[in-house]
Structures are given as C-alpha cells and as structure tokens.
Structure 1
Amino acid sequence: MLNRLGQDVSDHERKNLYLLLTIGLLYTLGIFLSNIFVNIFLWKQSEDIQVVAWYNLFIALSQMIIYIVFGKWAKKIDRILILRAGIILISIFFISVLAFGENAAQFNYLLGSLLGAGYGFFWLAFNVLTFEVTEPYTRDFFNSTLGMLQSASGMVGPISAGFIITVLEGYTGYLTIFFISFILFILAVVCSFFIERRQVEGNYSLRVAINERNKNPNWKMLLNAHFFQGTREGVFLFLVGLLVYMGTTSEMTVGIYNFTYAVTSLLAYQLVARVVTPSNRIKFITVGVISSYLSVFWLLISDVPYEFYIYGAVIGIAFPLFFAPYMSISYDVIGQANQARDYRIEYIILREIALSFGRGTSLLLFIVGLLFIEQSTWIQYGLVIFGVGYLIVNLYLAKIVRYSSDS
C-alpha cells in the first residue's frame, strides 16, 4: 500500500507522509475503540435521546469555538504542540467519563465541550499538516490511504470494544477500552516528536479567507458544501449507531455493525486509491452520495441485526466513493485560492468552521424537532431530511469541477 507513491516523491516527503498517516491511525483507532460507545453509555443512563443530542451539539459548538478563538495559534505556536494538546484533551475526556460513572449523563454539556475542544485542537493541526505535507500529486494517495487505515481501525476497534464490554460486565469493560484508548493517544503523541516542525510567517487574518468568498466562486461553493456536509453528519454521526443499539440492545451487535461498515469501507478505499483521478472524481462522488441517501430508506425499516449489517455494508462502500475525492477537491481549491501559501491556515480554519456550523445547525434543529414531534416519528423524518446534505454537497462539487474546467 505504501509503495504506490511515485519515484518522484522524495524520501523527505515520504517520511512526513508516513508519520502523519501513523498519527492518524493511532488517533482513529483510539476514537473507534471508545467514543462510539459513549453515546450508548449516556443513553443507557438517561434513556433520553435529547441528552445524547445535547452532548453532540456541544461537541460541535466547542469545536467551532476552538477554531474561531484559537485558530491564530496555528501561526504562533508549533502545530505539533497543538496536535498534542488535542490528544491530551481527548484523553482527559475519557478519564472524566469514567470519573463521573453513573452520573455521566448529568454532565453531558461538560463532556461534549471537553471532547469538542480536543477535536478542535487535533483537527486544526492535522488538517494544516495534511495541506503542508501533501502536494496535488500525493493527495489522492494520502486521503485514500488514510481512509483505508481508518477503515482498518473501524474493523478492530468497535468489535473489540463490544466484545470487551460484553465479557467484562459493568464499568470494567468501559474502563478497559478507555485505558487502551489512552495508551494509543500517548503513542500518537510520541510519533509527533519525529515529524518535521513547520513555522508559518506572517500575521493571522481570517478576514482574508472570508473576503475570498466574494472573489472566488469555487471557494464560496466549497464553504457551502462543507456546511451541508455538516448538516448530515451532525445527526447521522450519533444517531445511526444509537439506533442499532436501541433496536438490538447489544453492544456486540453495534461492534459487528461497525466491523461490517469498516470491512466494506476498506475495500472501497482500495478501489478509490487505484482508479480515482482528478478527471473522474465527480463521477465517484455522485455514485457515493446517491447510494448513501437511498440506503437511509433501508435503515428506516431495519429492526434486526442482519438488516443493520446490510446498511453498514452499503454505506461502507458509498462513503469512500464520496469522501476521498471530495477531500482532494477541497485541498485543491484551497491551494488555488488567493495567497494560499501565506494564509492556508485561515482557509482551512474557515472551512472547518463551516463544517462545524453545519453540524451544530442540524443538531439544534433535531433537538427542536424532538420538542414538537413524537420521538420515533421525528427520528425517521430527521434521517430523511438531514440525509439530503450530501446530495447538496454533490451539486456544489459538480459546479466547482465544471467551473474549474471552463476557466
């Protein structure tokens, strides 16, 4: 897999690419092992989906605030230090969940804020480093390979956690998986000591990226695309896994569901890595988003394990077809923006703000809907409504590709 880089890629570039991929793997494995069960952990305590929705809303809001308030740190502080800060905060989050124990659901706002802050710092640094260590000719390789590593993490993490929680009853199972995640985060920090440190000269000015919206139609459309990406992910990232548990009351089933998703996703990422090129990206994106939306209607009628597994397999194939080429287009648009070399951090931060704002918007609307519509009915409506997000993303990306080819 790692030998697919061309001969024109220097050893220096390879080293930084591999280190960043390793950090992404360790981080993702730690998250997949533990975080997927936090929503279930909170719901089992409260049996109130609003508690879980508020927890996820505060994750999105906290992450967005980090980008807005602390984004300038990426130009004043070594990005590796910011990366470590994010990993440490996420580790503290898992320790806090254990400390609160049976009362964790009462601290859903605090826990969501803490995890969102960790996400914010980590992805602020990771996205900037991704832009810096990749070039247009290595981005499809990097995004596809990272996706495959994330899929492998999804294979190992959730099913292992589900087995551990099932065998070790009570809090012992959760304590075990949280501790393993903590060790993985520490290893990610160790790897960060070997990646090249990069300093950015110049003043921090988010206004440059904001003003570019009025001058660069591709940048404006990309921000809109990330917002609508967020409107789908805000609800789907927490609700689907919770639905699987609510329908089966089995952590092991949740683990197998995610294992199924990860296996098919891994295969799909391998396909994407081999066949996707800048000229055919939009075709794969279109197939991916249409498949992911149609699969929602299968999810709505699923109520036994194997039906959830089928949904996991379909979405596992559809998502890589969409996400890997989408990220390549995203970084290409940023790379072609005005003064991207000097203000790449600002562009990345504004992009992530748009994504977090989209997630927060959908979660807030979902919570409001729960106040007026019966829960099971609104969950079904919500999946259909917010599932449209990726379809809208596809429309914007098609315009970007068409506009770029005409200019």
Structure 2
Amino acid sequence: MRAIGKVAKLSQQGWWLLVVATLFMTGIALSGTFINVYIWKMDRTYEAITWFNLFTFFCIPLAFVGGGYLASKIGEAWVMRSGVTVLVIFFAVLLALGPSSVHYVKWLGICFGIGQGFYWFSFHVFSFDFTNPDNRAKFTGLSGLFASLASMTGPYVAGYLIVRVRQVSGYHAVFALSFTIFALLFIATFRLPKKELPHRPQLSLALRLNQDSDWRRLLIGSVVFGLREGLFSFLVALLVFDVSKSEEGLGLYGLYTGFLSLIAFLLAAFIGKREGLRKFGMGLAAFLLGIIPFLFMQSVSARSLFLFGTTTSFVLPFFLVPFGTMVMNEIDESIRSARYRAEHLAVREIALGIGRVVGIGGFLAFVVYSQNVNWIPYLMMALGFAQFLVFLITYRVTYTDRKASDQSVIEVVKEKREGRSLQRMK
C-alpha cells in the first residue's frame, strides 16, 4: 500500500509551480478582461473583439502542438519562457499601437494565443509531473484558489487605475503593469527543472479513441465544454461593462465574483478527496450552470448579471476541479499513457480548441449577418447546458491504476528477450 499521507503532500516543485501560475494569472487577470473592453471601446462593435478571441483560441491548441515538438529539443521550462516572452512582446506591441491596435486584432490574437499556448502546455506537463492521483485534486483546487485571488484583485485594481488615470492612459498603465509582471514571471521560471521530453511527440498515440472509451468520453466532453467556455470568457465581461458603463464597475464585479470563486475552490479541493462526493458535486454544479443563463430570458440587466455572476462563480469550481482531475488521472492510468503525457495534453487542448472556435465562430456569424443583438441571451441559454452535457458524457469515467500490470508485462517481455539472448549465445 502507498503511504497516503506522504504522497498527498505537494513537493517543493509543486508549490513553486503554484507561485509561477499565480504570477501568470495575475498578469492575465489585470489585462485580460480589459483588453476586450479596450478593443470594444475603440470599435464599438462585437465583430473586432470576436475576431481577436477567435484567433486567440485558434492558436492556443496549435501552440500546444508546437510546444510539444520544442520541448523535445529545449525542454518544457524553455517552452514556458518562450510563451512568457511572446506575451511580453504582445503587451509591448499593444502599448506601442495604442488606439490603432483595433486594426490589428487578428495579429494580436495570434500573438496572445501562441504565448498562452506555450505557457499552458508547459504548466500542464509540469503539473502532471509534480503531482500524483492522491494530491492532484488538492493541486487543482489550490491552483484554482490562487487563480481566483488573482481574478478577484486584478480586474478591480485595473478598473481603479483606468478610472483614476483618465481612461486611455489608464489602459496603458494597466498594460504596462502586466508587462512588468510577465517579465518577473520569466525570471521565476528559472527555478523550474530543466528537462527535455525523451522522445519526439507522436499525437496519433494520444488519440487512441477506439482503445480507451474513458479517454474518448473526456475528449468529446472537452469539445462540448469549449463551446460555452470560449464565448463566455469575454462576452459576460462586455455585457457587465455595457450595463455598468464603467471600468470600475466591471472591476468591482470581478472582485465580488472572484471572492466567491475563491471560497468555492477551497471547498471543491476539500471534497475532491472523495470520488463519490466529487462526482455528485460535479453533476449538481453542471445542472445549476445550465439553469442560470435563463435569468437573461427577459433582459440583460444589472440584476440578472449580478445573479448570474453570483451563482456561476460559486458553482463553476465544483465542476472544474473534478473535470480537470479526471483528465490528469486518465493520462496517469498506465505507464504508456504517462510516458506520452505531452501528446495527451496537446490532443485534449485541441479538443477544447475545437469547441471554443466553433462557439465563437457561431457567435461571429450572428454578429456579421445580423445587426440585432437581442438574440445574445438566447445563445447564452442554448450554451448554458454544455456543462451538464459534459457531465452526462464523462460521469462513467473512472481511475484504474494499471501501472502495476503494465510493469509486469514489461518484466515478462524483458525476461523473454533475455532468454532468447542466452539461447543465441549457447
């Protein structure tokens, strides 16, 4: 039996990875929301901001694949640094272009997507290597907790700066602050271990759709999850800004919802230790997430957005922690899948990317061909049940430690080879 108390503790590398992740999320939280608002204010249409997000989410999975090939040459740590460098360049270009950046949203989206893709590839590989099935839910919960802290304080600080430093100059101050944080993040990555992937990536090995029904369910679930997640990642913030007419109001909204998420991630990490309770929480959260968008049936108002933000921010962590843990544990089931962890993570990100691009692409089609935005609440209601559909697809996924049996097979094959070698020598 494994010593549960020992393996459940996070290693020093695991804790440092959480520090790196918190710096990254702080930089993104400061500017991520207000990049969308900044572009929207310059253009005053949904089209430019949708193109920006479409190219961002299209490039993230491509960067995952590219990150896998780079990791076999230069190691995961340098892939992460490459991503952070691209993000530093992104904010430098955004500062240099100023209001004219609205004319380059596609190129900016590509840059933002590549930077995030390289970072998230390395983060997921490191988080897999630094955790195990006994402490993975704890790591995921703590990661979400620190991300909530960042998403709670980042938008509020950014909104305060923008209002106090006179609008456009305030946006530049926020982007400069994110630039500085990512420069610090670049330095922080040097405490991560330098190691290269032991082989060239082979994505075909991670597809194995016909061989593993659990992995197939998780990939299909990831596509469905991306449908809602991609669109809601920027649309809700724009609706809040449109209703509040103030960056500070949007920042206060982020502070409030981030605080609720922080509490929820703490609770989700606690109940994540028990699989039965974890799955029950995931199912209940998925059902509630499907009902919440019906608040917009009558109108998108301050009241409906407040209720939506309150419920979503508290409920969503109970879905995210089990879902993320499920994916990591499925990869960790056997020696073979764990060896090709980078390929599995890249394929999973491609599945997420497909869902995000389809969701945002559908929204863009409506924006381009329809001048009426009254259909937006109905689209949000239609996508609201995506998480519940994900739960129905994945609730049968179970973790089975096959490493012991894999090791037995490896030893048998090794003995047979050694026996053949002895016969040849005789």
Pairwise same-fold verdict (TM > 0.5): yes
Q: Offset of 1:337 from its aligned partner? A: 5.1
Q: Quick one: distance in 2 between partners of 1:325 and 1:267?
A: 16
1:39 corresponds to 2:36: yes
Aligned to 2:355: 358
1:6-47: per-residue Cα shift (whole Å, max 9, x none)?
Answer: 751499x52101110000000001100111101111111111
**1:271-286 alignment to 2 at 5 Å?**
271-276=267-272, 277-286=274-283
Q: Offset of 1:298 from its aligned partner? A: 1.9
Gaps of at least 5 residues in structure 1 are: none
Q: Quick one: distance in 2 between partners of 1:229 and 1:60?
A: 13
Q: Quick one: distance in 2 between partners of 1:134 and 1:47?
A: 45
Question: For the Cα contact (< 8 Å) 1:256–1:309, is it kept in 2?
Answer: no
Match of 1:231, as an amino acid? L
Q: Which moved more, 1:190-199 or 1:230-239?
A: 190-199
TM-score by length of 2: 0.89
Which secondary structure does the structure 2 equivalent of 1:199 belong to? coil
**1:311-322 alignment to 2 at 5 Å?**
311-322=308-319
Match of 1:243, as an amino acid? L
Aligned to 1:88: 85
1:316-373: per-residue Cα shift (whole Å, max 9, x none)?
Answer: 1111010011111110111125712321110111001111111011111111122344
Match of 2:34, as an amino acid? F
Q: Which moved more, 1:157-166 or 1:387-396?
A: 387-396
Change (3 A) 1:309 1:256: farther
Aligned to 1:60: 57
Q: Offset of 1:293 from its aligned partner? A: 2.0
Aligned to 2:217: 221
Work out which of the residue numbers 382, 393, 397 in structure 2 matches 1:400.
Answer: 397
1:184 corresponds to 2:181: yes
Question: For the Cα contact (< 8 Å) 2:271–2:278, is it kept in 1?
Answer: no
1:32-87: per-residue Cα shift (whole Å, max 9, x none)?
Answer: 01111011111111111011111100001111222234432222221011111111
Q: Quick one: distance in 2 between partners of 1:35 and 1:240?
A: 13
Question: For the Cα contact (< 8 Å) 2:288–2:315, is it kept in 1?
Answer: yes
Aligned to 2:365: 368
Work out which of the residue numbers 241, 248, 264 in structure 2 matches 1:245.
Answer: 241
Match of 2:365, as an amino acid? V
Q: Quick one: distance in 2 between partners of 1:316 and 1:102?
A: 32
Q: Which has the larger radius of gyration?
A: 2
Q: Which moved more, 1:41-50 or 1:268-277?
A: 268-277
Question: For the Cα contact (< 8 Å) 1:370–1:378, is it kept in 2?
Answer: no
**1:7-406 alignment to 2 at 5 Å?**
7-9=5-7, 14-210=11-207, 212-276=208-272, 277-301=274-298, 303-305=300-302, 307-336=304-333, 339-401=336-398
Match of 1:173, as an amino acid? G
1:262-295: per-residue Cα shift (whole Å, max 9, x none)?
Answer: 0110111111122222232211111111222211
Match of 1:364, as an amino acid? G
TM-score by length of 1: 0.93
* Percent of pairs with identical residues: 28
Match of 2:180, as an amino acid? I
Change (3 A) 1:78 1:404: closer
Change (3 A) 1:300 1:404: farther
Question: For the Cα contact (< 8 Å) 2:125–2:342, is it kept in 1?
Answer: yes
Number of equivalenced pairs: 398
Match of 1:183, as an amino acid? T
Q: Which moved more, 1:374-383 or 1:93-102?
A: 374-383
Question: For the Cα contact (< 8 Å) 1:272–1:324, is it kept in 2?
Answer: yes
Pairwise CA RMSD:
2.0
Q: Quick one: distance in 1 between partners of 2:243 and 2:8?
A: 51
Which secondary structure does the structure 2 equivalent of 1:205 belong to? coil
Which secondary structure does the structure 1 equivalent of 2:134 belong to? helix
Which secondary structure does the structure 1 equivalent of 2:104 belong to? helix
Q: Quick one: distance in 2 between partners of 1:189 and 1:39?
A: 24
Question: For the Cα contact (< 8 Å) 2:300–2:377, is it kept in 1?
Answer: no
Question: For the Cα contact (< 8 Å) 1:19–1:192, is it kept in 2?
Answer: no
Match of 1:191, as an amino acid? A
Where in structure 1 do 4 or more consecutive aligned residues deviate above 3 Å? Answer: 299-307, 371-375
Q: Offset of 1:374 from its aligned partner? A: 4.1
Change (3 A) 1:198 1:290: same
Gaps of at least 5 residues in structure 2 are: 402-426
Question: For the Cα contact (< 8 Å) 2:57–2:113, is it kept in 1?
Answer: yes
Question: For the Cα contact (< 8 Å) 1:257–1:308, is it kept in 2?
Answer: no
Q: Quick one: distance in 2 between partners of 1:270 and 1:302?
A: 33
Q: Quick one: distance in 1 between partners of 2:33 and 2:290?
A: 22
